[in-house]
Amino acid sequence: MSTYGFLGLGIMGTAMATNLIQAGFDVTVWNRTNTKCAPLVELGAKQGESAAAVVAGCDITFGMVSDPEAALSLCFEKGGVLEGITEGKSYIDVSTVDPDTASTVYKAIQNKGGRYLEAPVSGSKQPAEDGTLVFLCSGDESLYSDAQEALDVMGKKSFYFPLIGQGAQMKLIINMVMGTMMTAFAEGLSLGQKVGLQPNDIIDVIAQGAINNPMFQLKGPRMTEGMFATAFPLKHMQKDMRLALLLGDAHNQPLHTSSAANNAYIRAKQNGYGEEDFSAVIKNIEK
């Protein structure tokens, strides 16, 4: 059985590494602030000296950090992932990075004879704890295959796409559809209120039909009460929509409906709702 490293023990990383350890895998952890390692060591993990040391000492190492900048640092800094890479070593970045970042890391690791997989996840804290994440992978296919047992422990499903960057692209496209569905829903709720229908009736009617989906049923009732506790910040949705639209621009794909939705999020940011949940876009559609 392979040995595993895990770098980055924030909310997501801690939950994911915990699942690996509890499934009986041999796991070595590392975190920039090393106090985060203690609870996992208690569960049976070893603690690494540096990112490089973990990568050098394990067969397959996962990394989970907050954004593309952090992902680049973790790879390229002194004592970082790249230093530990030699032939036969493997690195899987489960952070959400853009296609360019994934490509940069991929080439650097390949040049040293290592294997790389970009594997951004769909799902947040709860699915991470429950082991029901979805992995959107691209890069080295043999690594995807070798890591399957670990991915199966942390997630309910994983996908492999052949070209590096496609994991990130898939995530942008899903979020673009999600963001546009949300403005369509908000327009429907807002129009309904103006003609005198109860928003909860609209949500209930939707619940009976072909367009029903968890997002409408989960967020809808809160939206009608003006409650927007942040699950996915509006400003991040807008950023993802911008990146998806630029992808469309680069491939000559007109995206009229999604562009209109993007402008709704931009207006919401302008009005100060950027830190709220992306469903707060309804506030700007209502008035």
Among 247, 103, 100, 269, residue whose Cα is nearest residue 176 = 247
Q: What angle do CA 179, 185, 189 make, to 5 degrees?
A: 145
Contacts of 108 (CB under 8 A, 6+ apart): 75, 76, 82
Pick the catalytic residue from 89, 171, 219, 283. Answer: 171
Cβ closest to a second copy, residue 58 vs residue 182? 182
| 26 vs 5: CA distance, rounded Å | 8
Cβ closest to a second copy, residue 34 vs residue 270? 270
Q: Is 272 left (phi over 0), alpha (psi -120 to 50) or beta?
A: left
| 24 vs 278: CA distance, rounded Å | 38
Could you tell me which residues are beta bridge partners of residue 122? 134
Cβ closest to a second copy, residue 31 vs residue 183? 183
Output the smallest distance, CB 113 to a second copy, in A. 27
Output the smallest distance, CB 156 to a second copy, in A. 7
Q: Which residue has the tokens 């794909």?
A: 253
Output the smallest distance, CB 247 to a second copy, in A. 6
Residue 171 annotated in active site: yes
Q: Which residue has the tokens 């203690």?
A: 38
Output the smallest distance, CB 29 to a second copy, in A. 27
Cβ closest to a second copy, residue 103 vs residue 258? 258
Long-range contacts, stretch 11-15, CB < 8 angstroms, 24+ apart? 11/125, 11/128, 12/64, 12/121, 12/124, 12/125, 12/128, 13/62, 13/64, 14/39, 14/40, 15/125, 15/128, 15/129
Q: What angle do CA 83, 85, 89 make, to 5 degrees?
A: 160
Cβ closest to a second copy, residue 83 vs residue 277? 277
Output the smallest distance, CB 167 to a second copy, in A. 10
Output the smallest distance, CB 163 to a second copy, in A. 6
Cβ closest to a second copy, residue 108 vs residue 182? 182
| 100 vs 192: CA distance, rounded Å | 43
Catalytic (active-site) positions: 171
